[in-house]
Structure 1
Amino acid sequence: MNLEQILENIAEQHLPLLEEHGFIPGGHNGPYYDKETPVRNTAHWSTIFAYLYQKTQRPDYLQAVISCADYLMSVPARPMQASFYCRTNINKDLSNGTIGQAWAIEGLVSAYKVTQQKAYLETAREVFLLHPFDERYNLWKVVNVDGSIRQFDMTFNHQLWFAASGAVLLAELDDLEIKRQCDLFFNALPSMLRIYNNGLIKHGVLNSVTFIDKLRNVFDWITYKRKSIKSGKDMRYKENGYHLFNLYAFALIKQFYGDIPLFNSDKFKKALSYCFSEQLHDSLENQDRSKDINKMPKVTTDQVNIYGYSYNGPGFELPYITKVFNNELGDNSVLISQVTKKQLEYTYNHEQKSLNIHTEDQATLEARFYEYVRYINTHSS
């Protein structure tokens, strides 16, 4: 049984769930155990149901898309008509930085494509433009659920995915301000993207304007390195789990926006090449979690990298990356086949027809099947 067939089986289980609740229940952000509202998973399933409707023309799939989008437009999803309410941890921002908003924007755009309901697109546009873009740093600030402004989201993949959601949005509407912001961000990427010598993308953003900022960055980096050496831990366990997630966002940008200056750089080519390296794929299966710099006390499953197959889903991400960047790559069909097969071996329960093995968060992992949907669409086009 291939991934597409499994997706359809899981979708059939989610139709009555959506009909019962009016949304797809949230998970808890995988190994982080931050309880999430239904926004993220409902947005992901909007993309899945949109694909299934386009494939089958079944009315129940169309209704599922509408139900997902209508939830995203509802008061519970945007209680103060500002950012989407994505997580419930009061010790963190309830909007889940810029990435929580990016996922919701994607879901609304997917719904618009099959329904042509402009209200979905306008809400996506409104939420994107709520986020202040600072041209000194070429970064977006986080907007709280009540509309108040926080500081920058300093996780690189969060900024990247927000820009990618802008690219997805711009493919459906003309908006000069969204395009201007995205252009500035894309033009800054050659200096903003940081990689190790092997091409692995670093997790944090280091962007500074003033001399004081530069000194603070240097101090923080020295402090981090000292702690890493002393503890024997560093970020690379996590960064390996997120590498394909980063490249997936770059693939979104290429498909929906086109080429950007970064794609011609040696730095990016190195990062792209690392997607197919033995080192990355060994780390996704065999790397020792004792080296993870994050403390994840609730995690019970660690047979594989907890940020990889059990959460980010390399079997969903690598096929799409390969398809979009096909002209820059050789034949990787054997590796793609191996990775999709491993995704099933590690996480799919054949008896229950669910992705509930070796994962901390079945609900979110199943919703992340939406990433594979884009591969199916580009593969068949």
Structure 2
Amino acid sequence: MVDQGGRNKTPKSIFELLEICASNVIESQNADGSFPPGRNYTYNELETPVKTTARWLITFSKVYELTGEEQYRDVALRSIDYFLQEIDRPGGYTFHCRTTPGKDKCNGLVGQSWPILALSYSGRVFDIPSAIDLAIELFSTHPFHEDLGLWERIETDGQRIGFDRTLNHQILFAARSSNLSNQSAEVEEKIDRFIDRLGQNMRLNQEGLIKHFVRPTPKEIVTQFLSNPKYYPLIINEMAYPFRTHSTKRNKIERGYHTVNLAPLSKLYRRHSCQSFWESNKCANAIQYLENNIEGLLNKENTQHGDGLPGISIAKTLYNFDRCDENLVRDMVNEELTRRFSYDKLRFEIGGMHQNDQSSLISELVDLPEVHIY
């Protein structure tokens, strides 16, 4: 256990750092169990407490697992209650994640992936079936098209608003939901199908860089459009694909998101390892692009938006895909902490990111192996 002056202690491991950061924010928890919200990193959009609360719930659950200290359990249980009471789930369908004129309130699939991950993780740690049940319900609320292997978005009022055509959103939704695979055959089967379809839906450039949008075959796109005109964004994707392929701006965005895609893919590999996609050239080429560009991606060279902590994502990717040992994980984590973490403020310092997001981002260390901090 660390004392409440934890910021004055030098952590010797990432697990000690998690506890220090957790103890530092206990008093900032709101009466309803939520934590102060941040803003959408890429677009600076106003957000509700859903994402930050989910991140802190994951962190406090992990710290309780490590320490057994009741203060961390109490904080986590209050955050679970925040989600179970559906304070930010006004329609009983999806959680209200952002308030931005002209955009959905659910923040696509990625917005909903956070409470699914937090509830499934904390539900297991504290043996709370209702938390896991809510995570499964939220997952099942999203229609999944078996033929395409893609999920649709559901607005907070239950309206179906079409496919989330951003590839990393689809991957993150699958990866963060994969904690439920052992509790739900439905979750397991749909994620397996999603992985099977990645051979088609995930496209790469000639170097192995992952393209930003999903791209089913033209025939499949037309079939979906004819069945329901609201799927027209898939048509737009296909029409714009040749232009985006040669766009310098698009290339920078895709470089920024390469690690955003690969880190959750590596988690899916760990939990759903039997699919043939993992042995495909497409998967191998995407990993090879990462290995060929580690320094540039870590330095965020020629990137736009994307990963706030590329070093952490690189460590997870290579470790989960069995491409490195814990020594490289240690080195990558320490490099990231040296570059971007403030031990005085106990948060990552990432340009353009709200301070509440900077501090809650410590949850990204939860699923790493224990390593020494220099």
Task: Tell me the TM-score normalized by structure 2.
Answer: 0.85
Query: How many Å separate the matches in 1 of 2:243 and 2:351?
Result: 34
Q: Could you list the per-position Cα deviations for residues 235-294 of structure 1 after superposition, in whole angstroms to 9, with x for gaps in the alignment? A: 2222222222211211221223333211111110121223322x34314425256xx4xx
Asked if the contact 1:87–1:95 (Cα under 8 Å) also holds between the matched residues in 2, the reply is yes
Asked if the contact 2:326–2:369 (Cα under 8 Å) also holds between the matched residues in 1, the reply is no
How far 1:30 sits from its partner (Å)?
1.4
SS at match of 1:150: strand
Query: How many Å separate the matches in 2 of 1:53 and 1:215?
Result: 48
- Residues 1:222 and 2:209 are matched in the alignment: no
Q: Could you list the per-position Cα deviations for residues 62-81 of structure 1 after superposition, in whole angstroms to 9, with x for gaps in the alignment? A: 11221121112223221111
How far 1:217 sits from its partner (Å)?
4.7
How far 1:59 sits from its partner (Å)?
0.3
- The letter for the 1-side match of 2:240 is D
Asked if the contact 2:18–2:63 (Cα under 8 Å) also holds between the matched residues in 1, the reply is no
- Which residue of structure 2 aligns with residue 31 of structure 1? 42
| Root-mean-square deviation (Å) | 2.6
- Residues 1:355 and 2:342 are matched in the alignment: no
Instruction: Specify whether residues 136 and 99 from structure 1 end up closer, same or farther in structure 2 by C-alpha distance, changes over 3 A only.
Output: same
Runs of 4+ in 1 over 4 A off after TM superposition: 210-218
Superposition pairs for residues 151-162 of structure 1, below 5 Å? 151-162=162-173
Query: How many Å separate the matches in 2 of 1:243 and 1:361?
Result: 22
Q: Could you list the per-position Cα deviations for residues 19-58 of structure 1 after superposition, in whole angstroms to 9, with x for gaps in the alignment? A: 5562112211213101111111111111111110010000
Instruction: Specify whether residues 43 and 286 from structure 1 end up closer, same or farther in structure 2 by C-alpha distance, changes over 3 A only.
Output: closer
- The letter for the 1-side match of 2:319 is K
SS at match of 2:367: helix
Asked if the contact 2:215–2:238 (Cα under 8 Å) also holds between the matched residues in 1, the reply is no
Instruction: Specify whether residues 94 and 55 from structure 1 end up closer, same or farther in structure 2 by C-alpha distance, changes over 3 A only.
Output: same
- Residues 1:174 and 2:167 are matched in the alignment: no
- Residues 1:52 and 2:46 are matched in the alignment: no
Instruction: State which of 257, 268, 271 in structure 2 corresponds to 1:253.
Output: 268
Query: How many Å separate the matches in 1 of 2:371 and 2:287?
Result: 19
Query: How many Å separate the matches in 1 of 2:345 and 2:111?
Result: 29
- Structure 2 gaps of 5+ residues are 1-10, 226-233
Query: How many Å separate the matches in 2 of 1:330 and 1:354?
Result: 27
Instruction: Specify whether residues 144 and 218 from structure 1 end up closer, same or farther in structure 2 by C-alpha distance, changes over 3 A only.
Output: closer
Query: How many Å separate the matches in 1 of 2:370 and 2:81?
Result: 24
- Residues 1:372 and 2:365 are matched in the alignment: yes
- Which residue of structure 1 aligns with residue 290 of structure 2? 275
Instruction: Specify whether residues 51 and 377 from structure 1 end up closer, same or farther in structure 2 by C-alpha distance, changes over 3 A only.
Output: farther
SS at match of 2:299: helix
- Which residue of structure 1 aligns with residue 110 of structure 2? 99
Q: Could you list the per-position Cα deviations for residues 308-341 of structure 1 after superposition, in whole angstroms to 9, with x for gaps in the alignment? A: 3xx2x12332222232222xx255834x444323
Identity %: 26
Instruction: Specify whether residues 20 and 203 from structure 1 end up closer, same or farther in structure 2 by C-alpha distance, changes over 3 A only.
Output: same
Asked if the contact 1:237–1:283 (Cα under 8 Å) also holds between the matched residues in 2, the reply is no
How far 1:215 sits from its partner (Å)?
7.3
- Which residue of structure 2 aligns with residue 146 of structure 1? 157
Instruction: Specify whether residues 145 and 217 from structure 1 end up closer, same or farther in structure 2 by C-alpha distance, changes over 3 A only.
Output: closer
- Structure 1 gaps of 5+ residues are 293-305
Superposition pairs for residues 1-381 of structure 1, below 5 Å? 1=11, 2-18=13-29, 22-171=33-182, 173-175=183-185, 177-208=186-217, 209-210=220-221, 217-224=237-244, 228=247, 233-277=248-292, 279-285=293-299, 287-288=301-302, 292=304, 306-308=305-307, 311=308, 313-326=309-322, 329-330=323-324, 333-334=327-328, 336-356=329-349, 358-376=351-369
Query: How many Å separate the matches in 1 of 2:353 and 2:259?
Result: 19
- The letter for the 2-side match of 1:364 is D
SS at match of 1:142: strand
Asked if the contact 2:14–2:371 (Cα under 8 Å) also holds between the matched residues in 1, the reply is no
How far 1:103 sits from its partner (Å)?
1.4
SS at match of 1:45: helix
Query: How many Å separate the matches in 2 of 1:112 and 1:341?
Result: 31
